[in-house]
Amino acid sequence: MPKEENLILWKKGQSGNPKGKPKGAKNRSTILKELAELRTKGIHPVTGEEVWMTNEYRMAMAVIEKVIEKGDHQALNMVLDSIYGKQKDSVDIHTSEEVNHDFRNIIARIKAQ
């Protein structure tokens, strides 16, 4: 553990990494969004005509093709999650187990935490 006299204390507003990312530089997320929004020519899957479409549209078509042509379950889950949202935890209501809970009491305890 370093001694206190060896610690460098930064002044307010002073960067701990002065050679870090330049101010105004785009992060990866911004760059990917910009590239996804670019328009390129491609073949429309329904009409077969060459049309202008975004790269995002073309990527979505590629994922759909993986689902349809190859039966890719991961791609299917990604598509369904995008359309309907991620599936919540489920409860099997077809059980022979008897359940006798006071759900109002359980919810009250959860809210109290």
Q: List 35's β-bridge partners, or say none.
A: none
| Tens of pLDDT, residues 59-109 | 999 999 999 999 999 999 999 999 999 877 776 777 777 767 777 888 888
Closest to 57 measured CA to CA, from 68, 70, 46: 46
| Tens of pLDDT, residues 7-63 | 667 777 777 777 888 888 999 999 999 999 999 999 988 899 999 999 999 999 999
Instruction: Please answer whether residues 35 and 55 qualify as being in contact, where contact means their C-beta atoms are separated by less than 8 angstroms.
Output: yes
- Cα–Cα distance for residue pair 8/102, rounded to 1 Å: 58
pLDDT of res. 94: 74
Distances (CA, A) of 14 to 47, 54, 80, 88, 113: 58, 41, 46, 45, 40
Record the tokens describing residue 67, joined without a space: 């689902």
